[in-house]
Structure 1
Amino acid sequence: MTITDAQAHIWAPETPDRPWLPGGRSFAHGDQYTVDELLAEMAGAGVDQVVLVPPSFEGDRNDVCLAAARQYPDKFRVMGRITITDPESRGLLATWREQPGMLGIRLSFSRGAADNWLSDGTADWVWAQAAAGGVPIMVFAPDKLDLIDEIAAAHPDVRLVMDHLGMRTDVRDERMDAVIDDLVKLARHDNVAVKASCLASNVSEQYPFPSLHGRIRRVVDAFEPRRVFWGSDITRLDCTYDEYRRLFVDELGFLSPGDLEWIMGRGVREWLGWQ
């Protein structure tokens, strides 16, 4: 089984020539996290491949992740960032996937002005252009799953992945259940998949995180294994990389070997078109 992590960040230090977003340091996961550090963690945890997602605190930059994908094409692909408020971005998605290593885009609607972009029309142009260009989208839109439901229905040809099961970073323990209530409603859309990423950081337990088992099963039952993607978000994990892999591979007895093949990598590779 080839294990593919559906999300990890790498990034470079902030410098005068490469500034981060104003205030970005307040929510950064550290000064830097290099491709070499990630490769070492992958080797230790038995992870074969990773979908790289540039972190939002760097701004809309893809250079570090694309360089890693060019250097290690058997290990990495990229879901890049795009400035949806820039009119010049509207012509980019038609050829977006022609960038070596690039599979799609990742959009965040969780803080600052972006918190309103799903409802105020700012993001409206993206969905049809992404569908036309064959560009899948990973979406972090906590508290906005009702709006994603409308978008998925209106644009059935765009492939959407809901990041972190739609959870904010401060949603913990029993508060997860209300989010899952809303999330599973999206399973009716064939063009919506979910990323079961960083869930160990949403509970107050240690490995093997017993309260997560039933919650993960509920999501898998709704979306089926082909639309549930294991991901770490390693730089935000409250456990080891290996523990988060073993949570799925060793502890979820309701998953068959075939289910695990899909959840642990095959599903995200097929969904994103990682050839």
Structure 2
Amino acid sequence: MRVVDSHLHLWDPEVLTYRWLEGELDTAYAAEQLLDDRIEDVEEQFAIFVQADPVEKQTIDEVRWVSSIAPETGVVAIVAGARLDRGRKTLAHLDELAAFERVVGVRHLLQGEKDGFARTPKFIEGARAVASRGWTFDACVRDHQIPDVTALTEAVPDLRIVLDHLGKPAVGTDDAPLRPTAEWRRDIADLARHPQVHVKLSGLPAEAGGRWDEDQLEPFLDVVADAFGEDRLMWGSDWPVSAMHASDEGGEDFFMEGVRDDWCHTIAQWATDRGLEVDKLLWRNALAFYGIRRPAPGVAS
């Protein structure tokens, strides 16, 4: 089995400033920590770095830092941070990003924006600029914002979009699981009608607060598999965010090694059980979506 982790975060508060970090997350998760938490029993493993939201003025610095540690972390591509609603400033920022060979796409975090933000003229103008470069867009939204992503696909039909974390549906926990809602199923089906949109099989462990099992999450995986098919799904770890486990005592979350490995093999087993081609979900689809030539064998195996 070979793996491209389509959604990996790296950060170091000693290098960059992240105002959102707290608790166990407020420490370095970079090369050393990643190498201690590798996926087991695979022939090759690489990753696509997705921006970790440092302060806005450090967006380029983040790309520069990740590029510097890419060889040792197996990062073959970067989805950089970019605000798409700044007009000429957006275009200038995209020009700066283009100087880095590993940048293949951008993410403007939509989950913290007001509903309808992705439908505004300024944002659509920026999205068109991304599409004109042949880059991708990672859409990180809450479940109720999925219709905004659908509207964006209709406004910018040549923009390749991947929905992060299945749109963050409410999944409950292992001892109090929730079923997929009718609204989320409907919105996923609507989005899937647009062939330029893919979905990342990522983030559900975080939505469960780190307390999850296969029976709880597989109904959500089944919905996106039925809607999108095996050619438009890609596995992602959402490491280290999805490696946080909620304390049973109600204290701070704590980091658990091995969750990345567990989630990868959970997806592989689920795909096998459903008759889906595992190599597509864990390797080929991510490379194809992000336009990455096949990584050199053995670099990060």
Q: TM-score range by the shorter chain?
A: 0.7 to 0.9
Q: 1:82 to 1:203 in 2, by over 3 A?
A: closer
Counterpart in the other structure of 1:260: 278
TM-score (norm 2): 0.77
Counterpart in the other structure of 2:21: 25
- 2-side partners of 1:38 and 1:205: how far apart? 18
SS at structure 1 position matched to 2:274: coil
Matched, 1:11 2:15: no
Matched, 1:174 2:175: no
How many angstroms does 1:203 deviate by? Answer: 3.9
Q: 1:45 to 1:181 in 2, by over 3 A?
A: farther
Q: 1:159 to 1:251 in 2, by over 3 A?
A: closer
Q: Retained in 1: the 8 A contact 2:180–2:219?
A: no
RMSD between superposed Cα atoms in Å: 2.9
Counterpart in the other structure of 2:104: 103
Question: What letter is aligned with 1:267?
Answer: N
Q: Pick one of 30, 38, 60 that aligns with 1:42.
A: 38
- 2-side partners of 1:166 and 1:103: how far apart? 21
- 2-side partners of 1:76 and 1:84: how far apart? 24
Q: Counterparts in 2 of 1:186-205, with a 5 A limit?
A: 186-203=191-208
Q: Retained in 2: the 8 A contact 1:90–1:125?
A: no
Q: Retained in 1: the 8 A contact 2:163–2:200?
A: yes
Q: 1:193 to 1:93 in 2, by over 3 A?
A: same
SS at structure 2 position matched to 1:56: coil
Which of 219-228 and 177-186 deviates more? 177-186
Q: Counterparts in 2 of 1:1-275, with a 5 A limit?
A: 1-14=1-14, 18-21=16-19, 24-26=20-22, 29-44=25-40, 46=42, 48-59=45-56, 60=59, 61-69=62-70, 71-72=71-72, 75-86=75-86, 87-93=88-94, 96-111=97-112, 117-142=117-142, 143-167=144-168, 172=172, 173-174=177-178, 176-177=180-181, 178-203=183-208, 208-237=213-242, 238=245, 240-256=259-275, 259-275=277-293
Q: Retained in 1: the 8 A contact 2:7–2:49?
A: yes
- 2-side partners of 1:7 and 1:205: how far apart? 17
Q: Retained in 2: the 8 A contact 1:138–1:162?
A: yes
Q: Retained in 1: the 8 A contact 2:84–2:126?
A: yes
Q: 1:33 to 1:228 in 2, by over 3 A?
A: same
Q: 1:58 to 1:10 in 2, by over 3 A?
A: farther
Identity within the alignment, %: 19
Unaligned runs of 5+ in 2: 246-255, 294-301
- 2-side partners of 1:115 and 1:52: how far apart? 26
